[in-house]
A and B are shown apart, each in its own frame.
Chain A
């Protein structure tokens, strides 16, 4: 795993632990949306923080569960957006 990707994953795990009522850091592939950890109300704060941290803009088209369903998915999504800029 590239070091950038590890930094992103570690950041996301910490962020989710801080934002949601869970007792331990999620694994890379913990189901975040289907399990209800991230719901439609909670997503707003998450994407605000991600946009600020990585200086990216998440469009309406990208607000789909596939981009946020796990740490792996979110990390891949962020890297894709950063590469686009």
Chain B
């Protein structure tokens, strides 16, 4: 996978997805990771991170043959506003999962996460020959549930009492996207 993505740049409408390296990260990246609002529904919630943690994370991800860690960069200003990650966790069955972090809150509510995920899924199906994408979120994260179904994902299962959220255990929802699900919603992508 790494040979294929050495100079990867996935163009979206007003931003692009590019390989994340330590030179490109914004100063605000550290701020995102330590912002309770940004991390409210994620495993990072309640934890503190340092610049070293970020550097290590980027280094490990970029060395891994299973992880594609991309930054979301605005086209005009080149500003780094978030990340999106594809983890090819099951090569035999060609399964991958996608997770996102839109750290810059000014860009929430503009459809950026859906567009970034849509483009990365299309890349995964076409260039990486992925069979199925998995997306997951805790039940209280309703925005993420809606994002997944907007992308054509189907709710495949519920892991009961699986995640400690604000002092209580909540269920985790698992969504799956196959090619036919995705290209039914986005037929224009099937030509790309």
Which A residues have a C-beta under 8 Å from some C-beta of B?
Answer: 33, 36, 39-44, 47, 60-61, 63-65, 68
Task: Please name the residue on chain B nearest to A69 by beta carbon.
Answer: B150
Please give 17 more A-B residue pairs, beta carbons under 8 A apart, in addition to A41-B108, A61-B155: A39-B110, A39-B114, A40-B113, A40-B114, A40-B143, A40-B147, A43-B142, A47-B142, A60-B139, A60-B155, A63-B142, A63-B145, A63-B146, A64-B146, A65-B146, A65-B149, A65-B150
Bound Cα distance from A39 to B109, whole angstroms: 6
Q: What does the 1/0 interface line of B116-149 toward A look like (CB < 8 Å)?
A: 0000000000000000000000010011111101
Bound Cα distance from A42 to B112, whole angstroms: 12
Bound Cα distance from A27 to B182, whole angstroms: 28
Chain A residue contacts of B110, Cβ below 8 A: 39
Chain B binding surface, main DSSP class: helix
Q: What are 15 residue pairs bridging A and B, where the CB atoms are less than 8 Å apart in the complex? A: A33-B150, A39-B110, A40-B113, A40-B143, A40-B147, A41-B109, A43-B142, A44-B142, A60-B139, A60-B155, A60-B173, A63-B142, A63-B146, A65-B149, A65-B150
Task: Please name the residue on chain B nearest to A47 by beta carbon.
Answer: B142
CB distance from A6 to the nearest CB of B (A): 27
Chain B residue contacts of A39, Cβ below 8 A: 109-111, 114
Please determine whether A40 and B139 come into contact, CB atoms closer than 8 angstroms.
no
Bound Cα distance from A36 to B173, whole angstroms: 24
Task: Please name the residue on chain B nearest to A59 by beta carbon.
Answer: B139
Q: What does the 1/0 interface line of B46-60 toward A look like (CB < 8 Å)?
A: 000000000000000
Bound Cα distance from A44 to B137, whole angstroms: 14
Bound Cα distance from A39 to B110, whole angstroms: 7
Chain A residue contacts of B139, Cβ below 8 A: 60
